Amino acid sequence: MARSRGHDPTSRRRDGAGGPALRFHDRGRQHRGPRAQPATAELARCGCGVGRMSATSATGPLADIRVLEFTTAWAGPFAGRCLAYMGADVIKVEAPEHPDSWRGPRSGGAAGYYPELTPEPDPQNRNLLFNSQNLGKRSLALDLKRPGAMEIMRGLVRDADVILANFTPGVLDRLGIGRRDLAAVNDRIIVVEMPAFGPGGPSSGHQGMGKTMEPAAGMTALMAYPDGTPVLTGPAVMDPTGGLNAVAAIVSALELRERTGRGSSVMVPQVEAAASWIGEFVLEQAETGRTWRPHGNHVPYAAPHGAYPCQGEDQWVAIAVHDDEQWRALCAELGADELAADPAWFELPNRLADQDRLDEALSRLTATHDKTALAHRLQRAGVPAAPVLNGREIALSPEMRQAGMVAELDHPAVGTRTYSTLAFRHSRTPGGHRRAAPLFGEHNDDVLADLLGYDGDHIASLRANGVIADVPVADTDTPRATRTDNASTSAQPTTDEGSDDS
């Protein structure tokens, strides 16, 4: 989606935008004209250097797109990370008094969040949480409340494409950087907000985290043990869901701009975005009045269906048998001909009615097998199965490396480390992670000099007056001795692994 910086009044438009939870506000007149040209083969081959990203220094479908990111923790930074992976120049803007919560405290951080279990020195630049979700970005440490900061902001907005933020609703407007204010500087700017709840409702001002938004979205009610106790995934679902919804919203808004010549305001409420992922359960309730009652791993369309023990401590294989043919194949691979011939389990309806006893019998059979070997044998026999892998096994798996899901990147504070990449695979404009996460304020001088033309004296004056900074001047709420949830003020990003950003 590389395109000229200049406004193209002939770009064509097709009205309509947005899927679930993506709210676009645009009233542009209809224009017709040529579409932006696709990236060239030369662009696809080129690498990505440190400094300004452009069509000559970055590759990816979003090369020549610039994003100013005001997010914290996981979901918002994950969205920005995806955009950077696809070639966008993402400038992460952090306030010195309110750095990204995943940078952690200036001292006393929980050892598990740092390489070699060692926070020092420079823990806020060594935190693995921050460094995992801010790959490929540049860092500008800017205090918007200081005199001179808004001049910098307006200067950056003139040549920017997207503002990505996770403040609670209304904060951008109060800070003077909402869509209405910024459109006076650059009418092509797209402002994307990621609050926990959409504006206007009784919860619109509530802060959110993955552990609170997941139940609010209805997901937690779909996961429970047989006794009915709901089970939380924590941030494991909400944050990536929110980040990917934001990416979809941004790409859609960029396409809309190519058609209208104007930017727009996009709201991506996290709870609404997540609720759209469970639509079939909502429809079932609305149409039939029946409420889904979870029962562990059991489902109404497959049996056996669950995770079963294997050789070793806490080793499991997941198996899902959808029909009678798969059931017979499973029994054959496990050498359990007597189970296949048992009339009590011969057909799926019988197995669905007797899942607890079926699970017990199957568990005794799988317990003597290696989980990976068994899963491969079952797959070859046509039975859906997979080993339950832990984090270390995933990181070291040949499949992940062969798929290009691992990258080695050098970071000034932690050295060369292994990072997971993303599963976007564009053939002509491949994108990728080419740079580790930035140090706090690492690109202050580059951004101000290269993008705004400030000279050394001007930059030194801004630094002396606290408008920009090279180190945070405050701790964040996460993580300390144990992982905790950020509850920051409404004037700052309000999410830990899953709040108003998440």
Mean of the pLDDT values across residues 468-491? 60
Give the residue carrying structure tokens 């562990």.
296
The terminus-to-terminus CA distance of the chain in angstroms comes to: 26
Bigger pLDDT: 438 vs 47: 438
Lowest mean pLDDT among 195-209, 260-274, 287-301: 195-209
Kindly state the DSSP code that residue 368 receives in the 8-state scheme.
T
% of the chain surpassing 70 pLDDT: 83
489 three-state secondary structure: coil
Give the residue carrying structure tokens 């924590």.
234
429 three-state secondary structure: coil
**Most confident residue range from 116-125, 362-371, 401-410, 472-481:** 362-371
Question: How far is it, in rounded angstroms, from Cα 158 to Cα 205?
Answer: 30
Burial of 424: CB neighbours in 10 Å, binned 0-12, 13-18, 19+: middle
Question: How far is it, in rounded angstroms, from Cα 257 to Cα 161?
Answer: 10
Question: How far is it, in rounded angstroms, from Cα 28 to Cα 106?
Answer: 47
Burial of 426: CB neighbours in 10 Å, binned 0-12, 13-18, 19+: middle
Q: Is-contact 465 136, C-beta < 8 A?
A: no
27's tokens: 């009233």
Binning the chain into helix, strand and coil, the percentages to the nearest 5 are 35, 15, 50
190-193 β-sheet, strand order: 23-25, 265-267, 190-193, 162-165, 66-70, 89-94, 138-141
406 three-state secondary structure: strand
pLDDT tier at 426, thresholds 50, 70, 90:
confident
Q: Is-contact 196 206, C-beta < 8 A?
A: yes
Q: Is-contact 362 319, C-beta < 8 A?
A: yes
Closest CA to 307 of 315, 317, 298: 317
Question: How far is it, in rounded angstroms, from Cα 140 to Cα 452?
Answer: 13
Give the residue carrying structure tokens 């609720």.
275
Alpha-carbon torsion angle 390, 270, 244, 158, nearest 10: -140
Instruction: Say yes or no to pLDDT of 488 above 60.
Output: no
Burial of 471: CB neighbours in 10 Å, binned 0-12, 13-18, 19+: middle
Burial of 453: CB neighbours in 10 Å, binned 0-12, 13-18, 19+: exposed
Give the residue carrying structure tokens 């009610």.
221
User: Can you list the domains of the chain with their CATH numbers?
Assistant: 59-215+235-280+437-502 (3.40.50.10540), 316-387 (3.30.1540.10)
**Most confident residue range from 109-123, 162-176, 188-202, 360-374:** 360-374
DSSP 239-250: HHHHHHHHHHHH
Give the amino acid at 293.
R
Give the residue carrying structure tokens 């798996």.
397
Bigger pLDDT: 2 vs 201: 201
C-alpha angle with apex 79: 76 to 85, nearest 5 degrees?
A: 140
Question: How far is it, in rounded angstroms, from Cα 460 to Cα 470?
Answer: 12
350 three-state secondary structure: helix
C-alpha angle with apex 16: 14 to 18, nearest 5 degrees?
A: 130
Give the amino acid at 125.
N
Give the amino acid at 418.
T
Q: Please give the sequence-ordered ranges of beta strands (E in DSSP) within 369-447, or none if there are none.
A: 385-387, 406-411, 415-420
320 three-state secondary structure: strand
Q: How many CB atoms lie within 10 A of CB 98?
A: 18
The DSSP H or E segment spanning 446 is: helix 444-446
pTM equals: 0.81
Closest CA to 499 of 133, 277, 217, 194: 194
pLDDT digits (tens, 9 = 90+) for 208-230: 888 888 888 888 888 888 888 88
pLDDT of residue 141: 98
CA distances from 412 to 99, 113, 409, 469 (A): 19, 17, 10, 18
pLDDT digits (tens, 9 = 90+) for 12-56: 333 333 333 444 444 333 332 333 333 333 323 333 333 333 333
Instruction: Say yes or no to pLDDT of 86 above 50.
Output: yes
Question: How far is it, in rounded angstroms, from Cα 10 to Cα 8?
Answer: 5
pLDDT of residue 500: 57
390's tokens: 């832990």
Q: Is-contact 443 142, C-beta < 8 A?
A: no
Closest CA to 99 of 120, 130, 128: 130
Strands 162-165 and 190-193: parallel
Give the residue carrying structure tokens 């540049």.
138
Kindly state the DSSP code that residue 438 receives in the 8-state scheme.
P
114's tokens: 């740092």
pLDDT tier at 57, thresholds 50, 70, 90:
low
